[in-house]
Amino acid sequence: MLVLGTRKSGDWRHILACLLALVALVSIEPVVTATSAFAQSGPIREIRVVGNRRVEPETVRTYLRFGVGDAYDASRVDASIKSLFATGLFSDVQIDRDGPVVVITVAENPVINQVAFEGNREVDKATLENEVQLKPRAVFTRAKVQADVQRVLDVYRRQGRFAATVSPKLIELDSNRVNVVFEIDEGGATKVKAINFIGNKAFSDSQLRDIITTSQSGLFDFLKSTNVYDPDRLALDRELLRQYYLKNGYADVRVVSANAELDRDGSGFFITFVVDEGEIYKFGSVEIESLLAQVDGNSLRGEMLTVAGTLYNQASMDKTVEKLTLLVSEQGYPFARVRPKASRDAAARAINVTYTIDEGPRVYIERININGNTRTRDYVIRREFRLAEGDAFNPLMVDKAKQRLQNLGFFKGVEIKRRPGSAPDRVTLDVEVLEQSTGELSFGAGYSTAEGVIGDISISERNLMGRGQYLQLKLSGSLTRLNAQLSFTEPRFLDRNLSAGFDLFTRTTFVSSYQQFASSSTGGSVRLGIPLAEGLWLTNSYTLTYNTLTDVQSTASAAIKEAQGDYVTSAYGLALAYDKRNHPKNPTSGYYLMTSAEMAGLGGDVNYFRYTAEGRYYYPIADRVTFVGRAIGGYIEGWGGKDVRLLDLFYRGGETIRGFARAGLGPRDITTGDALGGNTYWSTTAEIRFPIPYVSEEVGMGLAAFVDAGSVFGAGAGAKKLDNKYGTCGTASPTDVCLADSSATRVTAGISLLWNSPLGPLRLDIGKALVKESFDKEQLIQFGASTKF
């Protein structure tokens, strides 16, 4: 019994010990778990940054959305990761927690050592460097590389290279540096294959193509860049079309769209302009209403350029508003504004205009900033503003400055943005321009029945050295002549609305079937143009010329032999021109007037007065049918006891009155057949131009029926002195002239074939002389071509 009891007593103690050990084990685990949970959920005691090389730890901590002492929050951690990535400093970010310590592990983006371009032949390196954002010593990011790839592609697309591709390459260097190389495959230039217009009735496709800056590709694409598709240029063309219609009476015109579609093989674009012309209007009543007590509106009526009953012209309205604004400002109202109010009379097809003069808000121009002009000088842009820094701000004047800048032809795009200045009554103007090429190489070729093969080539620059000046070198010639001329023009002489320039020239003619002598004129001239009114210009000029008449053939007229030699001409001239045509190249309505006078004798060897005049009139009879009338004439006479030289007389033929040969009209030595020139000439033309039936307008062909009339008469004194009046022409001695001279009117009639060919305008004239003199020389068919590419 004792033994069992003892065993029982021992078992109890053993069981108790086991129970106590089990309790101890169970109680220890909750203590450890509770301690760990407290460490993970408690406040952050430290933020440790690892992996950084250039960026300071404190810089990293500034982008975190939590700090020491904050509770660890998963949403804040996620926001912090996004914030660090947004800096562009890191390629990888990881945030972990180690007890009360938060560990920020970063991988820094490399630093750019160099940015290079390979394969760029059409675009220079400097242009590309200005476009991309990646620069040496900047931080590299993949997002910036992709953005720069697109920027480089945009540069090539602006030059019409839509097939260009760009591949960025990364060259890793030591110290976490890289070189970035853009490998460029430029591809070929994507040309404009065709330009079409939809909805145009008043003007033909060819007329509208002359208005826009984009041109179709042709045989001489290498000589021009405007036949390359450019979205910026297309936007400018839309505005040019709209302005052209607004100038010609179409007040409701809309250029609905300008679409460029790439053909299937990607070799060219087809551009289509959709135009809604609307109705044509004239000006109805034109009034001035002044809300300023001290400004009399009636006194300003004479300054208006819009006249009741004339064709509606938005440009004339804008210029009237600008002119009135300046006049009222000069009267002491710098904040005055002129607002045109137009009301349509649909029944009468008239637009009544009232110019209201009131006072605008008192805001001053604090600063005018010019941006984007890498070549054009600042002052060339600023002089197109009729406002200066410190002047009263006038939105209308700013809009007019923008239009003048666009009309210069130096820029593909012009934007003027307004932003607040340093005070509530101050405003800053930011002028953003996008420059375009202003140099041009033009090439001409053709054939003339008078001269055979003819041609010309010219190099011109419209924005010389960024100064807004014009320079042109032109060479032209044929088998019978050779001409060269260098011209320079400063369009804003002395910063005024004056045009000044000079010309240097040499003109040489050779012995041919039309003349039995050679001649040359070499010299120069200076000129000054003054605008008197809208479309009205007065030009002053002085010309000094050295003339020679040489290589006279033995069979030439005695009058020509007598005139052989050289002489100097010193002459001053005046010319007045007034242009109201609706199109500069292919007008269908309007008129052009010009008159000039020249006096020689300011030194030199010759004294004469020369007068010329010309008038042209265009009237649309029907759709694509235009009446053209022309009258031209000239007169020259000597003074101070000096006769007019043979080379200074007028020589006219088929270029003036069709149906006659070159120099086929006027005084002539019947014995030798030589033209001797006249001191008077006149010519009139009546022509109707119309399309060829059943021939599409796209072909560019048309017909014309014409009647010409005119005369050349009044032989020079030298020919008259040698005239063998008392003998017969058959027995005249070699020192005599058998002069034939008549002021009788010559009349011709005929038809013409006109073709705007891919090589340029061609013309075939078939003219028959209905009334002529026996000594005139006829030519039934005349063909000529002269083109600009």
* pLDDT (tens digit per residue) in 674-705: 999 999 999 999 999 999 988 877 677 899 99
Task: Return all residues near 38 (Cβ < 8 A) that are at least 6 apart.
Answer: none
pLDDT-based confidence at residue 141 (cuts at 50, 70, 90): confident
* Cα(757)–Cα(787) distance, integer angstroms: 9
pLDDT at residue 567, rounded to an integer: 96
End-to-end CA distance of the chain: 136
pLDDT for 724 beyond 80: no
Residue 267, Ramachandran bin (φ over 0: left; ψ between -120 and 50: alpha; else beta):
alpha
- Whether residue 230 contacts residue 412, with contact meaning beta carbons closer than 8 Å, is answered with yes
3-state secondary structure of 201: coil
Q: What is the DSSP letter of 515?
A: B
Does the pLDDT at position 290 exceed 60? yes
Has residue 451 got a pLDDT over 80? no
10 Å Cβ neighbour count for 367? 14
Determine the pLDDT at residue 156: 86
**In this predicted model, what pLDDT tens digit does every residue of 337-374 receive, in sequence order?**
899 999 999 899 999 999 999 988 889 999 999 999 98
Residue 722 has a pLDDT of 75
Is the distance from CB of 551 to CB of 517 less than 8 angstroms?
Answer: yes
Whether the CB-CB separation of 534 and 648 falls below 8 Å is answered with no
Flag whether pLDDT at 267 surpasses 90.
no
Task: Give the single-character DSSP code of 744.
Answer: P
Query: Among 21-30, 245-254, 419-428, which is the least confidently predicted range?
Result: 21-30
Share of the chain above pLDDT 90, in %: 51
For the cut 60, the answer to whether the pLDDT of residue 17 exceeds it is no
Is pLDDT of 577 > 60?
yes
pLDDT at 9: 41
Instruction: Identify which of 291, 310, 303 has the alpha carbon closest to the alpha carbon of residue 351.
Output: 310
Distance CA 491, CA 390 (A): 26
The residues, ordered by sequence, that sit 6+ positions from 72 with a Cβ below 8 Å of its Cβ are 40, 41, 44, 66, 97, 102
Confidence at residue 213, expressed as pLDDT on a 0 to 100 scale: 87
- pLDDT, tens digit (0-9, with 9 covering 90-100), for 615-645: 999 999 987 899 999 999 999 999 999 999 9
pLDDT score recorded for residue 224 = 62
Contacts 24+ apart (CB under 8 A), 240-243: 240/211, 240/212, 240/213, 241/208, 241/211, 241/212, 241/273, 241/275, 243/314, 243/315, 243/403
Burial 294-318 (b: 16+ CB within 10 A, else e): ebebeebeeebbbeeeebbbbebbb
The mean pLDDT value of the chain amounts to 86
Per-residue pLDDT, 450: 65
| Model pLDDT, residue 611 | 98
pLDDT at position 191: 84
Beta pairing class for 364-371 and 426-435: parallel
Confidence of residue 330 (pLDDT cuts 50, 70, 90): confident
Q: How confident is the model at residue 734 (pLDDT cuts 50, 70, 90)?
A: low
Is residue 728 over pLDDT 70? no
Sheet with 268-276, edge to edge strand ranges: 191-198, 268-276, 254-262
Whole-angstrom distance, CA of residue 122 vs CA of residue 107: 39
d(CA 517, CA 669): 15
pLDDT at residue 416 tops 90: yes
pLDDT tier, 725 (very low <50, low <70, confident <90, very high otherwise): low
pLDDT at 30: 43
Residues 301-319: tens digit of each pLDDT: 888 989 999 999 998 998 8
Please list, in sequence order, all residues whose beta carbon lies within 8 angstroms of the beta carbon of residue 695, skipping any fewer than 6 positions away. 701
Q: Which single residue is written with the structure tokens 């591709």?
A: 165
Most confident of 43-57, 663-677, 772-786: 663-677
Which of 189-193, 264-268, 670-674 has maximum average pLDDT? 670-674
Find the mean pLDDT for residues 769-789: 78
User: Which residue type, as a one-letter code, is found at position 688?
Assistant: I
Q: What is the pLDDT of residue 127?
A: 87
pLDDT, residue 19, reads 52
Residue 768 has a pLDDT of: 95
Average pLDDT, integer, range 398-421: 89
pLDDT digits (tens, 9 = 90+) for 493-522: 988 889 999 999 999 999 988 889 999 999
With beta carbons less than 8 A apart as the criterion, state whether 681 and 710 touch.
yes
Answer yes or no: is pLDDT of 452 > 70: yes
User: For the purposes of burial, counting CB atoms within 10 Å of the CB of 678, is it exposed (0-12), middle (13-18) or buried (19 or more)?
Assistant: buried
Q: What is the percent of the chain where pLDDT is above 70?
A: 90
Residues 149-207 have pLDDT tens digits of 999 998 888 777 888 899 999 898 888 889 999 999 988 778 888 899 999 998 988 88
Split at pLDDT 50, 70, 90, the class of 246 is very high
Asked if residue 658 lies in contact with residue 706, where contact means CB atoms within 8 angstroms, the answer is: yes
Length of the chain: 789
Tell me what pLDDT residue 438 has: 86
Res 727 pLDDT > 50: no
Lowest mean pLDDT among 3-7, 109-113, 649-653, 704-708: 3-7
